[in-house]
Amino acid sequence: MQRILDPAQIESFAQRTIPRIRLPDSASLFARRAERLRKLGKNHAVGDYLRLMAAVSDAQQAALDTLPLLPSPSGQVADQVEQRMAQARTHAMPPLQASGWPRDSRWRTILNELCDAVAALPDSPDAVRAACARVRERQTAQLEEQADLLLAAGTHGVDAEAAPFIMAALQVYWVHLVASLNMDAARDLAIEHHSAATVDVSGVCPVCGTLPVVSVVRADKQYQGYRYLHCALCATEWHLVRVKCSHCLSTEGIAYQSIEGGSEAVRAESCEHCHTYRKILYQEKDMDVEPVADDLGSLALDLLMAEEGYHRGSGNPLLWQASEG
């Protein structure tokens, strides 16, 4: 006799069998992004910017490759870290919550390295060199304030020209943090958070609490056919069932839009319930898709969605707009 499972049993079974968390591959993350950005930048309307961000990604990988594993925190920082990890265990919170995390000066060193690398490019635009110089001249308190604004997804008061470089440094810092700490424990905490998450927090990264940039339907063997949201900060990916709004979690009124004649691997998943969209990438259509790069490379789709009256669920970490007013 064939056993028929009810919907609750099916969902429970899926939660046990689907690999829910994908931690970033720090050995190749930014190098792959740089390669993809250069490929997308060929004959592209914003090719100069994509190539600039490819150079930033190269510098990110170089910075990450030379960073030693973080030493165990000590003193007041150690107390703060332990307190935050204890809160994560108690309240099923992301273990490396970006907002309020006790950052050390290492991220500012990374930022200076990125700015130096970009400013040294022979074809670096004057505006880019000026933005890098402005970053180098800022006081520590000003840089920390900008970092806090970016990690909180703020717009008012953000230096939009410098923001991609600051965010790029924070990406390296958080990916390194993920690689350096005891990620067996962090993975367990992330999975616990992910499985216990309520509607108001399930749309954020279970490792660092940051919003996703896009989602990816993967075709690699272990994850084939599963959809994952990709964190804009630490590059962790977490599972979300398909045909479900990644912003409000509605399963009704979901539609998919694309640019006629554009890549079949990139679509916008829109929701009529909250009138929000995020892009969704399909590896089966192009195995080389990269979340941050392909989002930048498909800005025409953002224009289309804006014309249709939809707004993005969250932005791209390497592209910021100045606040109005």
Residue ranges of E strands in 151-275: 212-217, 227-231, 237-239, 254-257, 266-271
Q: What is the pTM assigned to this prediction?
A: 0.87
Kindly indicate whether the domain formed by 201-312 is annotated with CATH number 3.90.1670.10.
yes
- Confidence (pLDDT) at 78: 55
- Confidence (pLDDT) at 221: 84
Report CA dihedral (225, 178, 91, 237) to the nearest 10 degrees. -20
pLDDT tens per residue across span 193-245:
454 443 335 689 988 999 999 999 999 888 899 999 999 999 999 999 999 99
- Domain edges within the chain: 25-180, 201-312
Fold identical between 25-180 and 201-312?
Answer: yes
- The average pLDDT across 286-297 equals 97
pLDDT tens per residue across span 46-96:
999 999 999 999 999 999 999 876 555 445 555 666 666 666 666 667 888
DSSP string covering 265-320, please? TEEEEEETTTTEEEEEEETTT-TT--HHHHHHTTHHHHHHHHHTT-EESS--TT--
Structure tokens at 128: 């880019």
- Confidence check: pLDDT of 16 > 70: no
C-beta of residue 215 within 8 angstroms of C-beta of residue 281: yes
Structure tokens at 104: 């050390």
To which CATH superfamily is domain 25-180 assigned?
A: FdhE-like domain (3.90.1670.10)
DSSP string covering 72-122, please? PP-HHHHHHHHHHHHHHHHHT--TT-STT----THHHHHHHHHHHHHHT-T
C-beta of residue 158 within 8 angstroms of C-beta of residue 322: yes
